[in-house]
């Protein structure tokens, strides 16, 4: 009988074997966790065939115990997420501002692991909640791990970490009945928000389309806080971090988000996974806004206030490198669930500022991992290990993996040869920036933190008309779900301090009026003995101006790469129309899916077999960026008056998506979406507000115009 292979008794070799990957192959035999081969994995050990199970069945008990403990506590925030591996490469040396080694050499690729997330929902909640998205990046640099734990919005709700548990308690499901899941549209959130005027700027972002991205791959990321870069000479510059997606920025519309939550709650996860599997690797440029120390007080807001951004028009974003995500995790739990980010994981050349939210986060992240990952050795889990070796005198603790040799676990020592030694600056040891502090110990907030409305108004002013409308609709939706009348009125009054038109439109939708004169904004975020005059929000600084970088509508829209286009085709579809559309769309990087009345395959008019990707009964327009009804009489007839096909076309039209129809299909599309017949026969391809129509012989021209509309993403003027 074959004996189990003994790998090695060498401890070093063994600890290397405790590496991440185990793959079962054809000759792998089932074993217990102690390596004992298992003959019977079907039956428990019993006293007789029909007798009771025996406690001594160590195989059963090991299996069931492991199963019973398969779940770890989910993250208290950002529980729902998706991750991916990739690498980062700088464009040029940043040595003038930072000594961080991963930012020096354009030839150097640094591995990264990224986790995107929503904030409020539980681990199984929908990807499409209206919410902030987490954008956390772990750089495995040669000097240790650097975590840039950011969001897809550049500001935050609160100015001081002390209020974080309150914010999260308010936004999560209400404690008495655990309703609603993954939604801010309920009383406790708006109660809190309406009493915290410092959250107003962030509320504008969360009520904008940024909170319902089309894809993780199409959203910006921000470090939020002001950090520091420190160079070799010890000189410090302030820095704001940005991620700029190379696919551009796109969102869905709210009605679509609601539907996707039912049709495919894994929409964002699936999208990221599929893009990487298809070799369409998502890319972001890392941007920095660098501010010399001497300019710290030159702004009309405080750089330490996390409810403020630095407008790109004032300090341009320099793009200093690119991140590419090119590998899906092998195992969701081992990697995406167990990855432990921490805003305090930094490397020499990067440092903190005194932003009071950042300072609080520096405590919270390690603390949360202790409970979530079960002890202090979470850094030994493969996804969290740095590439560099770890040498220190920390020992023991639950689930310790490293087997340290030797007598000494203290420093200084002579018995261990003085090892491990301290690095010192010359050996790239970390040195905290020697910031001068001369202060009283107080629980206070700086006077420079009380302008809560100017940047909220800047954001509002910078949006296109359509974006403004979407913000009004979002506030109206959310507040209408909030049942307490005083909370609604309080919020309308706060909005009126930002912009009267915004407040009036929301008020109208809620059956309210804007108070005239405005009431002072209540500030619940004040200590018991606080001076109301000092804590009163400052009025807007005029003129507010605009920052076009804040508008997604204003961002470039010039590519259809990875956009999902549904071609509606049935038996008898015209070969030229299906072949040309497919070829031209794929050449530009779009993902083409065939939607047919039935699953399986269809046969074209020339007798070719084409595989069907979606049967109409399981398809939904919200899962596509654009739809096209192809030509060919029998195919067109199959969709004409088909209730599901009509519904899909109508919905896509209502969600402002590009639509196209070729030849005979034109009248079917027109009748489905209720637009007047025109154009065809005129000899020209017609583009009626993003609905592209033309004759069969014009298929190439139709495809071109259609692709132009897909690049625009939405045709808002319907």
Query: In the complex, which residues of this chain contact ligand HDE (CB under 6 A)?
Result: 75-78, 81, 115, 117, 134, 136, 149-151, 156, 161, 164, 224, 339, 341, 357, 360-361, 364-365, 368
End-to-end CA separation in angstroms for the chain: 76
**Rounded Cα distance, 494 and 202, in Å:** 13
Active-site residue, from 21, 43, 69, 78? 78
Indicate the angle between helix axes 485-498 and 187-195, nearest 10 degrees: 40
**338: CB partners within 8 A, 6+ apart:** 72, 373, 378, 381, 383, 384
**280: CB partners within 8 A, 6+ apart:** 561, 562, 589
**Rounded Cα distance, 193 and 272, in Å:** 32
We find the least distance from the C-beta atom of residue 364 to ligand HDE, in angstroms, to be 4
**Rounded Cα distance, 98 and 87, in Å:** 20
The answer to whether residue 452 is catalytic is: no
We find the least distance from the C-beta atom of residue 74 to ligand HDE, in angstroms, to be 9
How far is CA 571 from each of CA 87, 329, 599, 647, rounded to the nearest angstrom? 45, 39, 12, 21
In degrees rounded to 5, what are phi and psi of residue 292? -60, 150
**Rounded Cα distance, 657 and 716, in Å:** 9
Q: Which two tokens stand for residue 352?
A: 């903190």
**Rounded Cα distance, 355 and 305, in Å:** 6
What are the residues facing 292 on neighbouring strands? Answer: 237
**40: CB partners within 8 A, 6+ apart:** none
We find the least distance from the C-beta atom of residue 523 to ligand HDE, in angstroms, to be 19
We find the least distance from the C-beta atom of residue 219 to ligand HDE, in angstroms, to be 13
Answer positive or negative: Cα dihedral of 47, 51, 53, 55.
negative
**Rounded Cα distance, 625 and 715, in Å:** 12
Q: Which two tokens stand for residue 545?
A: 């101006």
**Rounded Cα distance, 496 and 512, in Å:** 12
**Residue 332 DSSP class:** I
**Rounded Cα distance, 208 and 79, in Å:** 22
Nearer to ligand HDE (CB atom), residue 196 or residue 666: 196
- Which three-class secondary structure state does DSSP give residue 433? coil
We find the least distance from the C-beta atom of residue 538 to ligand HDE, in angstroms, to be 23
Bridge pairing between strands 144-151 and 110-118: unpaired
We find the least distance from the C-beta atom of residue 305 to ligand HDE, in angstroms, to be 12
What are the residues facing 324 on neighbouring strands? Answer: 87, 283
Nearer to ligand HDE (CB atom), residue 368 or residue 559: 368
The answer to whether residue 151 is catalytic is: yes
We find the least distance from the C-beta atom of residue 306 to ligand HDE, in angstroms, to be 6
Active-site residue, from 151, 384, 470, 687? 151
Bridge pairing between strands 691-694 and 659-662: parallel
Nearer to ligand HDE (CB atom), residue 63 or residue 327: 327
Nearer to ligand HDE (CB atom), residue 88 or residue 243: 243
We find the least distance from the C-beta atom of residue 78 to ligand HDE, in angstroms, to be 3
Bridge pairing between strands 591-596 and 614-615: parallel
We find the least distance from the C-beta atom of residue 351 to ligand HDE, in angstroms, to be 16
Tally of CB atoms within 10 A around 123? 14
**Rounded Cα distance, 698 and 663, in Å:** 9
Nearer to ligand HDE (CB atom), residue 108 or residue 123: 123
Nearer to ligand HDE (CB atom), residue 120 or residue 136: 136
DSSP-H helix ranges across 434-587: 454-461, 465-480, 485-498, 500-509, 532-535, 575-587
We find the least distance from the C-beta atom of residue 272 to ligand HDE, in angstroms, to be 13
Nearer to ligand HDE (CB atom), residue 54 or residue 76: 76
Nearer to ligand HDE (CB atom), residue 113 or residue 254: 113
Nearer to ligand HDE (CB atom), residue 103 or residue 358: 358
Nearer to ligand HDE (CB atom), residue 455 or residue 562: 455
Nearer to ligand HDE (CB atom), residue 76 or residue 399: 76
Burial class (CB in 10 A: 0-12, 13-18, 19+), 406: exposed
Residue 242 CA, chain-centre distance (Å), reads 14
We find the least distance from the C-beta atom of residue 357 to ligand HDE, in angstroms, to be 5
We find the least distance from the C-beta atom of residue 369 to ligand HDE, in angstroms, to be 6
How far is CA 203 from each of CA 60, 156, 189, 579, 653, rounded to the nearest angstrom? 52, 9, 11, 47, 29
Q: Which two tokens stand for residue 73?
A: 């506590």
Q: Are 494 and 456 in contact (CB under 8 A)?
A: no
Tally of CB atoms within 10 A around 584? 18
Residue closest to ligand HDE, measured at CB: 134
- Which three-class secondary structure state does DSSP give residue 570? coil
Angle at 186 between CA 180 and CA 189, to 5 degrees: 110
Nearer to ligand HDE (CB atom), residue 167 or residue 685: 167
* Active-site annotation, residues: 78, 151
């Amino acid at each position: 009988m074959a004996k189990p292979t003994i790998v090695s008794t060498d401890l070093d070799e063994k600890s290397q074997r405790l590496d991440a990957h185990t793959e079962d192959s054809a000759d792998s035999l089932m074993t217990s966790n102690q390596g004992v081969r298992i003959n019977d994995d079907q039956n428990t050990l019993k006293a007789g065939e029909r007798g009771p199970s025996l406690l001594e069945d160590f195989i059963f008990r090991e299996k069931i115990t492991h199963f019973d403990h398969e779940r770890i506590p989910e993250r208290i925030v950002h529980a729902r997420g998706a991750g991916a591996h990739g690498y980062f490469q700088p464009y040029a040396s940043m040595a003038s501002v930072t000594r961080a080694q991963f930012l020096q050499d354009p030839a150097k690729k640094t591995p990264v692991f990224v986790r995107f997330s929503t904030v409020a929902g539980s681990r199984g909640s929908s990807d499409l909640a209206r919410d902030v998205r987490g954008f956390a990046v772990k750089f495995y640099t040669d000097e240790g791990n650097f975590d840039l734990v950011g969001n897809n919005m550049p500001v935050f709700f609160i100015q001081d970490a002390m209020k974080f548990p309150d914010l999260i308690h308010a936004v999560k499901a209400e404690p008495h009945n655990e309703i609603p899941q993954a939604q801010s549209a309920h009383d406790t959130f708006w109660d809190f928000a309406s009493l915290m005027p410092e959250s107003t700027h962030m509320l504008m972002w969360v009520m904008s389309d940024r909170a319902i991205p089309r894809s993780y791959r199409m959203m910006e990321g921000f470090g939020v806080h002001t950090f520091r870069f420190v160079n070799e000479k010890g000189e410090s510059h302030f820095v704001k971090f940005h991620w700029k997606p190379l696919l551009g920025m796109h969102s869905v519309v709210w009605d679509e988000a609601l539907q996707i939550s039912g049709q495919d709650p894994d929409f964002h996860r699936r999208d990221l996974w599929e893009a990487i599997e298809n070799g369409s690797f998502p890319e972001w440029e890392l941007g920095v806004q660098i501010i010399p120390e001497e300019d710290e007080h030159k702004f009309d807001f405080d750089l330490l206030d996390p409810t403020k951004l630095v407008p790109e028009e004032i300090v341009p974003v320099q793009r200093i490198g690119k991140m590419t995500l090119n590998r899906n995790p092998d195992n969701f739990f081992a990697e995406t669930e167990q990855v432990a980010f921490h805003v305090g994981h930094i490397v020499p050349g990067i440092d903190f500022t005194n932003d009071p939210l950042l300072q609080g986060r520096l405590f919270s992240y390690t603390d949360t991992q202790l409970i979530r990952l079960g002890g202090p050795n979470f850094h030994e889990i493969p996804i969290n290990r740095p590439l560099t070796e770890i040498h220190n005198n920390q020992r023991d603790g639950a689930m310790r993996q490293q087997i340290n040799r030797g007598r000494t676990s203290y420093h200084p020592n002579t018995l261990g040869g003085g090892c491990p030694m301290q690095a010192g600056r010359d050996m790239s040891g970390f040195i905290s920036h020697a910031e001068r502090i001369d202060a009283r110990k107080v629980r206070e907030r700086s006077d420079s933190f009380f302008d809560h409305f100017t940047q909220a108004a800047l954001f509002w002013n910078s949006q296109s008309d359509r974006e403004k409308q979407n913000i009004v609709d979002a506030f109206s939706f959310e507040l209408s779900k909030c049942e307490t009348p005083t909370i609604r009125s309080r919020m309308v009054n706060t909005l009126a301090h930002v912009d009267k038109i915004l407040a009036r439109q929301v008020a109208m939708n809620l059956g309210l009026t804007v108070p005239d004169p405005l009431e002072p904004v209540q500030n619940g975020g004040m200590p018991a003995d606080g001076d109301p005059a000092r804590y009163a929000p400052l009025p807007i600084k005029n003129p507010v101006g605009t920052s076009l970088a804040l508008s997604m509508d204003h961002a470039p829209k010039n590519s259809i790469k990875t956009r999902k286009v549904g071609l509606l085709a049935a038996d008898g579809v015209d070969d030229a129309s299906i072949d040309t559309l497919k070829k031209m769309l794929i050449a530009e990087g779009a993902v083409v899916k065939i939607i047919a009345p039935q699953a399986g395959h269809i046969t074209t008019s020339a007798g070719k077999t084409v595989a069907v990707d979606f049967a109409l009964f399981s398809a939904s327009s919200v899962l596509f960026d654009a739809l096209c009804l192809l030509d060919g009489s029998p195919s067109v007839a199959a969709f004409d008056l088909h209730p599901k096909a009509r519904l899909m076309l109508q919905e896509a039209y209502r969600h402002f998506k590009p639509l196209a129809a070729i030849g005979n299909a034109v009248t079917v599309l027109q009748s489905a979406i209720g637009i007047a017949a025109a154009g065809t026969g005129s000899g020209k391809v017609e583009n009626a507000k993003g609905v592209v129509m033309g004759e069969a012989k014009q298929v190439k021209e139709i495809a071109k115009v259609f692709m132009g509309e897909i690049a625009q993403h939405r045709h808002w003027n319907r």
